[in-house]
Amino acid sequence: MDLRVAQNCPQCGAAVVLTETARLMTCSFCGTKNYLQSSGPFRYTLPMGQQRPPITSLLAPYVRFKGTIFLVTSRGIEHRVIDTTQAANPVPGLPPSLGVRPQAMQLLRIDQEGEARYLPQTLKASVILEKATAISNLTAQAGKDLYHRAYIGESLSYIYLPLVAKQEALFDGVTDSRLIGFEEVAGYPLLGKAFAQDWRVRFLATLCPQCGAGLDGAGDCQVMTCANCQTAWAFGPEGLSGVDWLLHPGDAATPLYLPFWKIAAHIPVLSIDSFADFVERTNQPFLPRPGWGERAMSFWIPGVKLRPKIFLQAGRQATLGQWQFKPVAGRVVPNLFPVTLPASEARQAVKLILAAATASPRRVFPYLPQVQLADVVMQLVYLPFIDKGHDWVQPETGVSIAKNILQWGRSL
Ligand SMILES: [Zn+2]
Ligand SMILES: [Zn+2]
């Protein structure tokens, strides 16, 4: 479930509610459109009543992860959707998880005003996610039958729990329940640190860095487009960065274009340079055609959030059918579906799509731990889909995505 964040419009001050992953904010009162610029994950706090925590409070960090954990094992590819909020500081007495509390209340973005102190995040997100994997019974062991593990995140953020010190004890600032006596946490540093400047989120005008025109994008998009100069821009740690984008044209009546991240790469350990190499090494039930030896191998990762099974299927089919695409320079046409999976997450999915696309797991899975990508080139390619009743279907490759699933991916 998506969390909700209370936010004031930086222009007029009106109260706006955003989703936790929203990168674009349009104020319905003054019409101002901004994007949220941040160098790392967003940081929120639980409110105390409807209030901000008092300026002197101590805040304890929790890692919030929502997404899918994939394991490639000798049994195949397993996956589990994880939605968890786990304590990231080992001070005894902290609730190990925030449970459903973040979903029940509107979160507040932390800012540098006030003198709140933040307990450091001492447990790494990766360790916390591994714990979450264990909880979910995905128990394959590295070195035995586990060949690869990947987390494809939909959101990773930090949520702080306000703590209140009174009566010689720490109290949960939201529920006012006593967590632990001071004497039991005597050995733990409880001073906390000040707000770090690189946590700051800036609200910036959505103007094209190239031509200055207004950019288009949905609230949850990861890439905005400029209809004036036909460019595409992704949110990066340093600001908007240009995306090399293409479009495989459908006919004029094409009702939907879906984005895929095309990741061209060589895989030295499997001697895969070309698409023909890939077809041979992964033992596909068809022979390479003339010209496939000169076609650089690329992996096609859906640029939208999808259920794990559909995500793997769509990536596999687009990757196997890549020789049929004839993309041209990207241009803004009607019916471009927003990119909701960022390039960084797509990159995490390459080994998964390699595993999903192989016809001979035994020839490929054992090499996955050694697989490194070389000469990587990333592009965004929009593919046309046609309306087949309940499904959107990509005519060249047969990639089929149920209409309600595409909706699900956006609202999850
Ligand atoms: Zn406003
Ligand atoms: Zn422009």
CA of 33 to the centre of ligand 1 (A): 8
Ligand nearest to the CA of 208: 2
Distance 225 CA to ligand 2 centre (A): 8
Q: State residue 255's pLDDT score.
A: 94
> Rounded to the nearest whole angstrom, what is the distance from the C-alpha of residue 213 to the centroid of ligand 2?
5
- pLDDT at 101 (0 to 100): 87
Q: How far is the CA of 9 from the centre of ligand 1 (A)?
A: 5
User: How far is the centre of ligand 1, averaged over its atoms, from the C-alpha of 205 (Å)?
Assistant: 13
The Cα diameter of the chain in Å comes to 79
CA of 12 to the centre of ligand 1 (A): 4
* pTM, to two decimals: 0.91
pLDDT of residue 141: 59
Sheet containing 223-226: order of strands: 223-226, 231-236, 239-243
Distance 18 CA to ligand 2 centre (A): 26
Q: Residue 50 C-alpha to ligand 1 middle, in angstroms? A: 21
CA of 103 to the centre of ligand 1 (A): 25
Burial of residue 163 (number of CB atoms within 10 Å: 0-12, 13-18, 19+): buried
Domain coordinates in residue numbering, the chain = 4-199, 244-411
- 242 C-beta neighbours (distance < 10 Å), count: 12
Sequence-ordered list of residues with C-beta below 8 angstroms from that of 220, at least 6 positions apart, any chain: 19, 21, 22, 23, 24, 338, 340, 410
How many angstroms is it from 23 CA to the middle of ligand 1? 16
Residue 352 CA neighbour count, 13 Å, CB half: 27
Give the pLDDT of residue 406.
Answer: 84
pLDDT the model gives residue 114: 73
Q: Are 67 and 152 in contact (CB under 8 A)?
A: yes
**Length of the chain in terms of residues written:** 412
CA 354 to chain centre: 20
Cβ–Cβ < 8 Å for 318, 275: no
In the prediction, which pLDDT does 186 show? 87
Q: How far is the CA of 232 from the centre of ligand 2 (A)?
A: 8
Q: Which residues of the chain are under the pLDDT cut of 50?
A: 411-412
